[in-house]
Amino acid sequence: MEQVLLSLMFILLICLCLFFWLKLENIRLKFSRQGIIGPLPSLITGNIPEIKQIMSVVPNSDPANKDPKDISPFYCSLNLFPYFKQWTKQYGGTFMFTLGRQHFLYVTDLKLVKEISIFKSWDLGKPAYLQKDRGPLLGKGLISTNGAVWSHQRKTIGPQLYVEKVKDTVNIIVESACTLIKSWDNVVKAEDGVAELIVDEYVRNFTSEIISKMMFGNNFFEGMKLFPKLKTLIDIMSTPTFLSGVPFSRFLPTKKNKVAWGLEKEIYAIIMDIVKKHKATTSENMLQTLMEGSMNGELGPSTADQFIVDNWKAVYLGAFEVNAVVAIWGLMLLASHPEWQARVRSEVQEVCGDKPPDANMLGKMKVLRMVIQEILRLYPGVAFVSRQALQDLKLGDTCVPKGVNIWIWMLALHRDPELWGPDADKFNPERFANGVSGACKSPQAYIPFGVGTRVCPGQNLAITELKVLFAMVVSKFSLDISPNYHHSPRYGLLVEPEHGVNLLVKNI
């Protein structure tokens, strides 16, 4: 009997392998008939072994790696994703690859990017792996859902981040910037006028305070308790799942998974406690908006409570972590380019004088706008625009089978010399003097907030935060790169400084 069971299990395993192999070959055949090819995958792990092999030789083969203070964006992209660079040379700007059982279409062809950006059907949505592999962090919130559920979430959250709403929050952003500046000023004075600061935590406190005030109003201190737990959860989920190469690893009771599951429950409990207290008030804030959204509209499989929690995490992930990472890179770039730092300072003094910036003043700062656009070009925080074909669909002349994931490598588009000129890997805000249309050959080459119907709803808030922070910081301090700074971008969920950003901060 035991031998029969083993034989049946073996036959079942063979059948499963044959099924997955036929499915893979069918997808590869459909793409190859369109002239789209890619690296040959293995049956179980796809192209993961080749990725690991390419990554293993990069530190020894990259001459830029010899200089730890090389802050060129070229160094960033080359070291983070050398396999995409290699495959692009071999297969062109559009190719397919496989990670485990997930099939991907890599895209940097501008015609295809444009087709994705104008595609309106819900048949093109967010990948299923966002909910499956990063469920404890993303859940079924705005970032990871599709169809009617996503539409309801967008209609609930989006209006809170429109331009006019963001203008009303400038005072909140200024208050939070004042808190950061005061903390820096205390350290600088204690160090006789010049201090070395690792700015990361200061900036994260800045962005977390803003979104907490927007979410909870006067009770924002309640929300601040969540950030250490959320940041820990982000760090845990930051290792790309596909690197392990183990199918269904999210179900295994590993130490990492146990910690993630525990944090997910703790965050859920804290948010529900805040919601319970909030029900006794009449405050109008973003939490109230989420609570109202949970009582009507399409929720899908989520409960009303889960709707609130998952969308709270979605808002916080963008407004807290993504905004912070971009701001940290921005301070690094300003510190390493004193001529642009001086130009921003001069403009702020001319427009604002001794007053803190308001919405009207921010709109007049052209140099600051150019600097921020260039920061977002070089360090957008998010590395990829990700989509999935939820049905068989056609993007221009390209047929994409159901289930295939689409990745647009933002870093490649933003640094392509053919699109941006020979200085594409250099920090040069002057390129944006006449806007995006004057900076590059195609508007599809600049997508720091994504493309199409799924473009980031928080982009107005992000840009306003960056404007206020940079304007107020350079008005008060002179920034320089510390000799202790080691430029080492790391990719997890976002492209962030692996060792933090060390700056020398001096009172003006």
| Per-domain boundaries in the chain | 28-507
Rounded to two decimals, the pTM is 0.91
pLDDT of residue 278: 79
pLDDT of residue 349: 97
For residue 317, what are its two tokens? Answer: 């992930």
Q: Are 341 and 391 in contact (CB under 8 A)?
A: no
SS3 string of 133-186? HCHHHHCCCCCCCCHHHHHHHHHHHHHHHCHHHHHCCHHHHHHHHHHHHHHHHH
Q: Mean pLDDT over residues 54-61, rounded?
A: 71
pLDDT at residue 18 tops 70: no
456 marked as binding residue: yes
Q: For 429-488, write each residue's pLDDT tens digit.
A: 999 999 999 999 999 999 999 999 999 999 999 999 999 999 999 999 999 999 999 998
pLDDT at residue 17 tops 70: no
CB half-sphere exposure, 463, CA atoms < 13 A: 25
C-alpha to C-alpha distances, 79 to 68, 85, 165, 435, nearest whole angstrom: 13, 10, 40, 30
Q: Note the CATH number of domain 28-507.
A: 1.10.630.10
pLDDT of residue 68: 47
Q: Are 466 and 375 in contact (CB under 8 A)?
A: yes
Q: For 123-181, write each residue's pLDDT tens digit.
A: 999 999 998 888 899 999 999 999 999 999 999 999 989 888 899 999 999 999 999 99
For residue 322, what are its two tokens? Answer: 């993504």
